[in-house]
Amino acid sequence: MSSSDTPALAQQLLQAISRRKALQGSVAVGLAAAAVPTLTAAWAQTPKPINDRMSGNLTPAHDPSIIRAGDTYYVFSTTMNDKKQAQVPIRTSKDLLKWELEGYAFPKIPAWAVQRIPDTIGVWAPDISYLNGTFYLYYAVSSFGSNRSAIGLATNTTLDPKSPNYHWDDRGVVFESFPKDDYNCIDPTHVVDLQGNQWLAFGSFWSGLKIFKLDPKTGKPESDNPHLFSIAERPTPEGGLDTIEANYIMERDGYYYLFASYDYCCKGVNSTYYTAMGRSKSVTGPYLDEEGRSMMNGYGTVILKADQEEKQRWRGPGHCAILRDHGGQDYIIYHAYDKLHNGAPYLRIAPLVWSKDGWPTAIM
């Protein structure tokens, strides 16, 4: 969810299922691999587009994050700007095609968030991941167009709402930004590197995207003043705010891939979001695009854009996550605005295919 009052979006998605080696593949919680839907296994060799076959509860779905637990896929997304309603809608599917609204992560905006940021209008940009028996749900609160923002964390031992153990334990604030800061503390992504270190990437506009190390015991910074590594910027000649946000980081074959949304979201069919990416041998960068250009200089290889085989219907595709599914098939999940339905934000999913030299293409 953009925290800048501007127009547009992009077509980018990755997934929140295990993002790095420790979590590669799906989360098979309490279920044998044989129970995985045959749909994804069939596409492992020849993936086909699925967006035109998706049905059910697909909108409003903004800033989606995805994970599979057992035989069920779960999508968490932004609450659409109503501070009185339950927060963070959760959708479920058995096959990635038919989606139902399962419920919400929070009955209301967490009390700490309202106290710290009274102008917050909802819980934004949830990021779901799984590690060592625990589901981690990082999320953001802010006031639109401001960098008085904060990232929070809630945990759970199960995603099954019928389980007696189902309960979101809100652990409160993780990190926050203030008007004096040159960064905006929203759009979190939990990352585990190949050495098992945990990181949190974040950022929207201002000076771009950052990442810092986490204490694995708390899921919060190792200190009150963590070292922030800059991983992507889009400097403008006028010295204005960077039009970049919504990071997602995954690891594949020894490379860390950084996806980010460029330009503007949150303006329906007038959104100009698109998704670009780069890769690095280090989680802290430098991230370079396919041409060897740095994302710190505003470059990136485009993977999702509004006119990509979609006949101008779907606008501003972006804020992606990656699903690394059983059988080796990867999917990019994102939202896009539907020109045929008054610019409503819809859940969108595309299989990824990888070139021999390690660059993905979304099958639209």
Residue 297 CA to residue 234 CA, distance in Å, equals: 6
* Cα 51 from Cα 349, distance rounded (Å): 6
CA distances, 276 to each of 12, 244, 255, 263, 362 (Å): 8, 10, 16, 11, 12
Catalytically annotated residue among 233, 245, 289, 330: 245
Structure tokens at 288: 């370079």
In order of 142, 269, 348, the CA distances from 179 in angstroms are: 12, 30, 34
For tokens 């799984």, name the residue. 130
Q: Nearest Cα to 52, choosing from 361, 318, 314, 332?
A: 314
Q: Which of 331, 275, 310 is nearest to 10 (CA)?
A: 275
Does the active-site annotation cover 338? Answer: no
The answer to whether the beta carbons of residues 185 and 139 sit under 8 Å apart is no
The DSSP call for residue 96 is S
Establish how many alpha carbons lie within 13 A of residue 232's alpha carbon, considering only the half-sphere containing its beta carbon.
Answer: 34
Rg of the chain taking only CA atoms, in angstroms: 18
Q: Alpha-carbon distance 129 to 114, whole Å?
A: 25
Question: Which single residue is written with the structure tokens 């041998």?
Answer: 281
* Catalytic residue flag (residue 63): yes
Active site residues: 63, 245
